[in-house]
Amino acid sequence: MRIIVDAMGGDRGPSEVVKGSIQAINEYDISVVLVGNDKILKEELAKNNFHDDRIQIIHADEMITNDDSPSMAIRRKKNSSMVIGLNSLNNGEGDAFISAGNTGALLAGGLFLVKRIEKVERAAISTVYPTKKGMSLLIDAGANIDCKPQFLEQFAIMGSIYVENVLGIKSPKVGLVNVGTEAEKGNLLVKETYSILERSNINFVGNVEAREIPEGVVDVMVCDGFVGNVILKLTEGLGQTIFSTLKEEFSSSFSSKLGALLLKSQLKSFKNRFDYREYGGAPLLGVKKPVIKAHGSSDALAFKNAIKQGKIFVEKEVIKTIERDINNSRN
């Protein structure tokens, strides 16, 4: 199996991508194709004393930055690491593609270059969301601001398939994000979607309120991209605030520092449960081949786990299952 990785995307540069790729090579039965500046990547591999042919390089002399317009960058920067990587995936030169680069550009590239699965009306960004019980999947996390009920129905189907096959949760519980748990609550979009999902073959358990999300009451949280992105950004901000406040409190006096020392292992365990690096990346569901968006600030551990995620994505034939179930839902 070959995993294609955009080596120039992300905030930390190629060094962390290379380290993460080496770690993945050493742990999993895969090969990696790094797309980026040939000279820089060879230097990084040499720094890590890695000369194994299981990592190959495809040269790209351009890169898409976070300041670039997504659709224009995909059209104009044809020699960028992201575009070359997506084209390589589309041409069968690898089995999955991973990038920590510009999210909008990756979405545009997935749609324009890899293209949507037949009968999938909208591709969606989904992201793993840590909860008290483990992890859930949030879909859509920002790709589609304005949605129709049939879009949300397909998000629910694709999210359920991904969670069962990649995250290993059997018959995942699917919830529709709403302002109340009652079926008659919410706007027209949510109410119409509810009536569709309760007749579907997935394990739909009804509406879920925002305050229930951190408890992990469902395995798949379905919503439009506007709501999903607000949930995601609020959670990130809240998490940062909680951890920074705890740090301030634990360093405010001698007794609090002593308390922090006594609780060090528990605090570390708590922090790890909410560490995005442990969960790989956000799959772009609805396109014809596996595409994963890694966090912009991903380090070596995050890239290693994103590569692992791509490996499972391919092995479990998630795309084929989505094609089959989306087709059946339209019959």
End-to-end, the C-alpha distance of the chain in Å comes to 34
Tell me the domains of the chain and their CATH numbers: 1-120+286-317 (3.40.718.10), 124-280 (3.40.718.10)
CA 207 → CA 21, 150, 194, 244, distances in Å? 40, 17, 8, 33
Q: What is the pLDDT of residue 301?
A: 92
Q: Pick from 190, 216, 219, 189: which is nearest to 203 by CA?
A: 219
Q: What percent of the chain has pLDDT over 90?
A: 73
Instruction: Give pLDDT tens digits for 92-147.
Output: 999 999 999 999 999 999 999 999 999 999 999 999 888 888 889 999 998 999 99
Q: What is the pLDDT of residues 170-219, one digit of tens each?
A: 999 999 999 998 988 999 999 999 999 999 999 999 999 999 999 999 99
User: What average pLDDT does this structure show over 279-303?
Assistant: 91
Residues with Cβ < 8 Å from 222, sequence gap 6 or more?
Answer: 139, 152, 155, 156, 159, 174, 175, 176, 177, 193, 197
Lowest mean pLDDT among 8-22, 40-54, 203-217, 266-280: 266-280
Confidence at residue 43, expressed as pLDDT on a 0 to 100 scale: 96
Percent of the chain at pLDDT > 70 equals 93
- Tokens standing for 214? 């951190």
Looking at 170-224, list the stretches that DSSP marks H as alpha helix, in order from N- to C-terminal side: 188-197
Considering only residues 239 and 314, tell me which one the structure prediction assigns the higher pLDDT.
314
Mean local confidence (pLDDT), 231-241: 84
Distance (Å, whole) CA 284 – CA 86: 13
pLDDT at 262 over 70: no
Tens-digit pLDDT profile for residues 23-32: 999 999 999 9
Beta bridge partners of 38: none
The owner of tokens 């994963």 is: 292
